[in-house]
Chain A
Amino acid sequence: MKRPSLGSLLFALIPFVAVCFSVALWDRVYPMVFGIPFNFFWLISWLFLTPLCMWGAYRRETSTTTGSDRQEGGAL
């Protein structure tokens, strides 16, 4: 099976670092953002930022495949 490209794996690494590995850095109540404790706010923002990263990965994956695939990928 074709391995994923390095570029898309790097895109995928971003949410893993932000959400999982860096827990000790963001697990705090203050500063509250919009009245929400910082740890809750941080994870909620990554619900929106993760699709952005994965959209980047999607672009990388589709640009490395064949022409017809690329055309279909552009329809997103």
Chain B
Amino acid sequence: MSPSGMALAVICSIVAVGSLVGFLARYHHKMDLEQWTVGGRGFGLVLVWLLMAGEVYTTFTFLGASGWAYSRGAPVLYILGYGPLSCVVSFFIFPPLWEVGRKHKLQTQADFFQARYDSPLLGAFVALVGVVCLIPYLQIQLTGLGLIAEVASFGAIPRTPAMIIGFALVAAFVLVSGVRGVAWVSVIKDFLLLFAAVFVGLAIPRIYFGGIGPMFAALAQAKPDHLVMPGATKSLGHTWFLTTVLMVSLGFYMWPQYFAASFTARSGRVLRRNAVIMPLYTITMPLMFFVGLSAVLVLPGLKNGDLSLLLMVRKTFPAWLLGVIGGAGALTAMVTAAVQLLAGATLYAKNLFRPMLAPGMTDQQVAKVAKIMVLVLTAGAVLLAIYSSVSLVSLFLLGSAGVAQLFPGVVLGLFSRRVTTLGVFAGLATGIVVTLSFMLTGHDPYYGVNAGLIALGCNFGVTGVVSLLTSVRVSGLDEGLPALAVLPSGDGTEAA
């Protein structure tokens, strides 16, 4: 068998086994909307951990991290910054969020805004922001699938058909099994990814340099600038690191899919414990960096840094191992994409389509619209992935800056009684406009400062000022603003 045939055969078997597990996981569970989106709210520590870890460490982990270590150098360390810090933020936000979620049967991120601020319109706006920001993140997974197929087949399978086939499979998988299927495929994927990361991260520096220490020694000799910020770039210095880490870690759990994952837990305590241990999972990241950094000396001059890991593996190991690692990557891309599709489609159907266009819809009909939306989103992301060529990290940062704008509405909504619907509306709109105007004009980072964080600052300011200028509708405190009912009353927690 030719090397490419061998590698592709292994990849396909891994993907097939993964999909089968996903399809089987639906047995014994009736698939209503609640089960499909939040798994009946019955996941314990292990399943929540797998689901979150499975979603959080993605194709981006695999290819994007090594890609930036290769092409940018030390700025890639921002991943080790936001990884643990975003868990710290979730420690404080998720347990109260879960409580509100259970009390008001929330399934999506926009549900929270709609219930807390008593405004279907705000809910719809939040849903729109979420769905739009998910598209670049979906595109990352797709591009990852395409790169894997291209490298594993030694160029025989072009990127485009690979992406289309891969995503048809993901869409089918999401439609059939919902969130429970995804959690179980995550189990397989996590083990494979862990194996791949540890093996490749330790073996490649050892084979070419005799170990991680000698690899760094060689790199410090040959390219000392690559190992401190701003690395191979001009603009990604300390200010950029500080502001980007801050922006991503505050905004990270505002991704609609991670936000909704908090509703799958059995209790708030499960989420809190999960937040304590999650940073440990980031340990696969430095291993990816080691591969990218080895490639700087072994495979200099690659145009696309995102290919560095796969090309290093192909150059170093037999074809079947390229297959295993490519398979782990492909399955990862599929699981992540599945979760994103699930979140995006539910958001659209439940919070945008129903309240705005067809208020009389039943939950069954919502589920049907969501399933159609899975196909629409898939098609949209495939088209974007085919026609644009931005690096994986840039796509991630673009979407992150967008979803981070939801942070003030969530945090103030949970912990302040003074914040108003109009305030959150105005703040969110400002944040989005500021983000877009910096990013679309190519001004990110702006004098070294992350544009998303500037937007977040404006967002907080406008939310605060407008909230103070408008008054909380007193009549809504008990009936109209249901989430306020869980806030303690009159114990001095008034704050803007």
Contacts and interface: CB of A to CB of B under 8 A. Distances in A.
A58 to B, nearest CB: 5
Among all A-B residue pairs, the 3 with the closest Cβ atoms: A35-B213, A50-B84, A43-B80
A15 B84 contact: yes
A46 B84 contact: yes
A39 B75 CA distance: 11
Contact of A27 (B74, B87, B220, B273): B74
B493 A23 contact: no
Interface in A25-76: 27-29, 32, 34-37, 39-40, 43-44, 46-48, 50-51, 53-55, 57-58, 61, 69, 72-73, 76
Interface stretch (B47-55, B191-199, B221-229): B221-229
B134 to A, nearest CB: 26
Given A12-B92, A57-B91, A73 B100 contact: no
Given A1-B414, A1-B487, A43-B80, 13 more contacts: A1-B486, A3-B493, A19-B85, A20-B241, A21-B242, A23-B229, A28-B228, A39-B77, A43-B81, A51-B279, A57-B91, A58-B272, A76-B273
A58 B276 contact: yes
Contacts of A72: 269
Interface stretch (B117-125, B281-289, B331-339, B441-449): B281-289
Given A3-B415, A29-B227, A37-B227, A47 B279 contact: yes
Interface of A: 1-4, 8-9, 12, 15-16, 19-21, 23-24, 27-29, 32, 34-37, 39-40, 43-44, 46-48, 50-51, 53-55, 57-58, 61, 69, 72-73, 76
B214 A48 contact: no
A50 B77 CA distance: 16
Contacts of A48: 279-280
A19 B487 contact: no
Contact of A35 (B83, B216, B238, B272): B216
Interface string B200-227: 0000000000011110110010001001
Given A54-B88, A54-B275, A40 B488 contact: no
Given A20-B81, A23-B241, A47-B280, A29 B96 contact: no
Given A2-B488, A27-B228, A12 B88 contact: yes
B87 A1 contact: no
Given A20-B246, A39-B228, A54 B91 contact: yes
A21 B217 CA distance: 28
A55 B275 CA distance: 9
Nearest to B205: A35
Contacts of A58: 91, 272-273, 276
A12 B91 contact: yes
A32 B88 contact: no
10 contacts: A1-B96, A1-B100, A3-B415, A27-B238, A27-B241, A35-B213, A37-B228, A39-B74, A47-B84, A47-B279
Most buried by B among A40, A53, A72: A40
A24 B237 CA distance: 9
| Size bracket of the B interface | 35 or more
B437 to A, nearest CB: 26
Interface of B: 74, 77, 80-81, 83-85, 87-88, 91-92, 96, 99-100, 211-214, 216-217, 220, 224, 227-229, 238, 241-242, 245-246, 249, 269, 272-273, 275-280, 282-283, 286, 289, 414-415, 486-488, 493
B85 A20 contact: yes
A40 B75 CA distance: 11
A8 B275 CA distance: 13
Nearest to B413: A1
B115 to A, nearest CB: 13
Contact of B245 (A1, A12, A20): A20
Contacts of A8: 92
A16 B85 CA distance: 7
B276 A35 contact: no
Contacts of B81: 19-20, 43
B87 A54 contact: yes
Given A1-B486, A23-B242, A40-B77, A29 B91 contact: no
Nearest to B213: A35
A2 to B, nearest CB: 7
A41 to B, nearest CB: 10
Given A1-B415, A1-B487, A54-B276, A15 B85 contact: yes
Contacts of B242: 20-21, 23
Contacts of B282: 47
Contacts of A76: 273
Nearest to B283: A47
A46 B87 CA distance: 12
Contacts of A69: 269
A39 B286 CA distance: 12
A24 B238 contact: yes
Contacts of B217: 32, 35
B448 to A, nearest CB: 12
